[in-house]
Structure 1
Amino acid sequence: MHPAEDLDGILRQLDAYAVPVRAKLGVPRLGLGLWLASEVAAGLADSPAALAKFRAELDARGLDVITMNAFPYGGFHADVVKLSVYEPRWTDPRRLKYTMDCVKVMEGLLPDDAAYGSISTLPLGWREPWTFADDQASQEALAELTRTLRAASRLIKLAVEPEPGCILDTVADTVSWLAPRVDPEYIGLCLDTCHLAVSFADPVETVRSIEDAGLEIVKVQASAALHVDDPRGARAELEEFAEPRYLHQVRELSPDGTVLKADDLPEALDTLPGDGPWRVHFHVPLHASPESPLRSTNDVLTEVLNTVSSDRTIEVETYTWQVLPDRHQQDLVDGIAAELAWADGRLRLEVP
């Protein structure tokens, strides 16, 4: 998710990072989880010639697109993002238009031998304000999108991504909302393993609950959250991760099993009791777990990948490189390559 919102800028970013990562890994092709800001997606969707040219540019660089991230609409690298990443909601016609544009782009970029393409999206919107009318509007928008997916020239699926604090906060919320409302052939879940870990849900039971509801895990976002067993004793280490750009929701597992909630890490440091372990929505690199007393939730990721069907799209998603504390920073090419190599070696994934 590079900080470029025009095609020339995107290609410069890919030349600076994706192409060197592919070379460092020694693979002929590298898969991208492509993010396009709304205006870029609209421009490509409206111009078959521009889309064909963009695909040719990707092919020349040995880059493939089998999945897209249509969660952020734009401005994802602004100085402060926080709640704005959840706008526009699925009640807003701009969200439907943006996602339909991404479907057209995906049609043009999907490799000929890919079984399907996937597009992840936000879990309807932030939890408040939200009304019954908003529920209806979102359902109607997803029905309209489904008609577009059915008419597409390639099989493309929408993956709704549960996230703490949103209308569809957990996988259980998402399954409950989607199951009676969507066509499961075209709409399923994006299972982000950082978000899942933050919820303290059991990974194996979660995967089975999705399947039991007749829904599909369209893609897995392989990611890890921060975990700390003793928040009171790790305040200084946690404060290092309280940065101003992104929202870092926190959940505490209290001794009685109740999950306590805070919408951001600074709020959690001020309000949560710290009587039980915390998990923080901060995507930490898979290969570089933070030092004790903090750790990552790679164990949750591993359990998910040992449980899901082997033919699922798996996207390694760490978008927080630039906001990691200074002592955790590393060269971006080296970091991404190391993370993908860790995933390939430890989780037995194939690097495309």
Structure 2
Amino acid sequence: MRFLHADGTTVHLGYCSNVHQAEDLKGVVSQLASHAEPVRERLGVDRLGIGLWLARPVVTELAADTGSLKRLKAELRARGLETVTLNAFPYAGFHREVVKKDVYLPDWADEARLEYTLDCARVLAALLPDDAERGSVSTLPLAWRTPWPDWRAETARRALHRLTTGLAALEAWTGRRIRVGFEPEPGCVVETTAQAVRELGGLDPDRLGICLDACHLAVQFERPATALRRLADAGLPVVKLQASCAVEAHDPADPAARAALRRLAEPRFLHQTRTAIVGTVHGVDDLSDALDGGLPQTTGPWRVHFHAPLHTEPEPPLRTTADQLGRVLAGLLGGPSADCDHIEVETYTWSVLPEPPADLAGGIAAELAWARDRLTGLGLKEDHP
């Protein structure tokens, strides 16, 4: 879906396909028919954005075969879908039985991460709608925090300069601008906006910026207005917003809350958990660690890196950080200028919910409708084709 901001900016809203299990081109094309097109039909719109996750083998095939690229673009167009952003955070294997910290591999000290990201940019340049101003690719925030010795940090810094050069060359060759957004995440080298400024400040803002995940921001107890101002002051553009909600237990000592949290402590994905004690954030790497005594229960709420559906609440007495997501949207788009033009709903956890939905397309459509209502509530106008 597209929206028009009062300043004339076209704002794109879509959902991320990493919720679907597909790691070959046939599977990607199949999910457009079995999931994405039904979501569009449920919303009753003629055009729906989809942020594609393309695993390394798919990107390799598309980058090497222009015929495959043209067929994928034709499939998107035939089903009323468009792509202006790719999620290049997971490299492969995102739906294995256990993913956990493997999602951060390869990291930015590994040549494979640079090559994959540039290939994603090349593929996206070919998939972009003709009238799209630019594309975006989101990626991990350098690496998991350990091990990260100085030599690996310096290797990653050199890779980012090569990334900038590669993106500039791609624009010169194709006429399409692709920006890469680094996504701060709890537990990583860059987990907060302050760390983003320290580690990523001074890079080319025309090519590189931040993918701001609202769930991650909430888990780290960052105030949206402060975080957005910090990024703007540092010249780090928000090239993409991942519209997502964390899970919060207001009273983690409550037996009902702990029972509900136990049902979210599943084996596939990492669910970093944080609490704030006298203004200082403390955390553990997984929800199970918190429940087993890794976090105090009586000092304040826990927030969990578990991407909860935007439009509904989890099992009581748990709740989501949807209000915080609303403040992020208002901070980016509620003023006289649009400070972000790509929004991706990224609830990849549907399959690991205690009660996975029988109607996934309906759930995704409801999330997008929630986001659409928040955007129009900020004064944006739906832009129909």
Per-residue displacement from partner, 1:110-142 (whole Å, max 9, x unpaired)?
Answer: 111111100000001110000111111111111
Query: In the alignment, what sits opposite 1:313?
Result: 342
Instruction: State the alpha-carbon separation in 2 of the partners of residues 168 and 30 from structure 1.
Output: 32
The TM-score with structure 1 as length reference comes to 0.97
Instruction: State the alpha-carbon separation in 1 of the partners of residues 280 and 236 from structure 2.
Output: 27
* 214-223 vs 45-54, which moves further: 45-54
Query: In the alignment, what sits opposite 1:332?
Result: 360
Q: Per-residue deviation at 1:330?
A: 4.4
Query: In the alignment, what sits opposite 2:210?
Result: 189
Q: Per-residue deviation at 1:351?
A: 8.3
1:239 aligns with 2:239: no
Secondary structure of 2:291's aligned partner:
helix
Instruction: State the alpha-carbon separation in 1 of the partners of residues 92 and 315 from structure 2.
Output: 33
Structure with the greater relative contact order (CA < 8 A, sep ≥ 6): 1 or 2? 2
Query: In the alignment, what sits opposite 1:140?
Result: 158
Query: In the alignment, what sits opposite 1:42?
Result: 60
Instruction: State the alpha-carbon separation in 2 of the partners of residues 239 and 121 from structure 1.
Output: 30
Q: Per-residue deviation at 1:94?
A: 0.6
- Equivalence map 1:1-352=2 (5 Å): 1=18, 2-152=20-170, 153=174, 154-180=176-202, 182-233=203-254, 234-254=257-277, 256-270=278-292, 271-275=294-298, 276-309=300-333, 310=338, 311-326=340-355, 329-348=357-376, 350=382
* 328-337 vs 230-239, which moves further: 328-337
Do the aligned residues in 2 keep the contact of 1:302 with 1:347 (CA within 8 Å)?
Answer: no
1:161 maps to amino acid: E
Instruction: State the alpha-carbon separation in 2 of the partners of residues 251 and 99 from structure 1.
Output: 30
Query: In the alignment, what sits opposite 2:7?
Result: none
Per-residue displacement from partner, 1:7-55 (whole Å, max 9, x unpaired)?
Answer: 1111111111101011111111110110000011011111122211211
Instruction: State the alpha-carbon separation in 1 of the partners of residues 165 and 98 from structure 2.
Output: 36
Secondary structure of 1:163's aligned partner:
coil
Q: Per-residue deviation at 1:64?
A: 0.3
Do the aligned residues in 2 keep the contact of 1:82 with 1:246 (CA within 8 Å)?
Answer: yes
Q: Per-residue deviation at 1:346?
A: 3.1
The TM-score with structure 2 as length reference comes to 0.88
Instruction: State the alpha-carbon separation in 2 of the partners of residues 246 and 170 from structure 1.
Output: 20
Secondary structure of 2:312's aligned partner:
coil
Q: Where in structure 1 do 4 or more consecutive aligned residues deviate above 4 Å?
A: 349-352
Secondary structure of 1:232's aligned partner:
coil
Q: Per-residue deviation at 1:176?
A: 1.3
Secondary structure of 1:227's aligned partner:
strand
Instruction: State the alpha-carbon separation in 2 of the partners of residues 7 and 88 from structure 1.
Output: 21
Instruction: State the alpha-carbon separation in 2 of the partners of residues 279 and 231 from structure 1.
Output: 10
Instruction: State the alpha-carbon separation in 1 of the partners of residues 39 and 267 from structure 2.
Output: 28
Secondary structure of 2:51's aligned partner:
strand
Do the aligned residues in 2 keep the contact of 1:88 with 1:95 (CA within 8 Å)?
Answer: yes
Per-residue displacement from partner, 1:285-321 (whole Å, max 9, x unpaired)?
Answer: 0001114311000111111110114352111110000
Query: In the alignment, what sits opposite 2:14?
Result: none
Per-residue displacement from partner, 1:150-184 (whole Å, max 9, x unpaired)?
Answer: 1122010000000000011112111211113x211
* 308-317 vs 18-27, which moves further: 308-317
Do the aligned residues in 1 keep the contact of 2:260 with 2:316 (CA within 8 Å)?
Answer: no
Instruction: State the alpha-carbon separation in 2 of the partners of residues 351 and 339 from structure 1.
Output: 19
Q: Per-residue deviation at 1:238?
A: 0.7
**Aligned length, in residue pairs:** 349
Do the aligned residues in 2 keep the contact of 1:31 with 1:351 (CA within 8 Å)?
Answer: no
Do the aligned residues in 1 keep the contact of 2:180 with 2:209 (CA within 8 Å)?
Answer: yes
Do the aligned residues in 2 keep the contact of 1:158 with 1:187 (CA within 8 Å)?
Answer: yes
Instruction: State the alpha-carbon separation in 2 of the partners of residues 291 and 239 from structure 1.
Output: 11
Instruction: State the alpha-carbon separation in 2 of the partners of residues 128 and 215 from structure 1.
Output: 25
Secondary structure of 1:27's aligned partner:
coil
Gaps of 5+ in 2: 1-17
Instruction: State the alpha-carbon separation in 1 of the partners of residues 357 and 85 from structure 2.
Output: 27
Instruction: State the alpha-carbon separation in 2 of the partners of residues 54 and 133 from structure 1.
Output: 40
Secondary structure of 1:190's aligned partner:
strand
1:195 maps to amino acid: H
Query: In the alignment, what sits opposite 2:5?
Result: none
Instruction: State the alpha-carbon separation in 2 of the partners of residues 249 and 329 from structure 1.
Output: 24
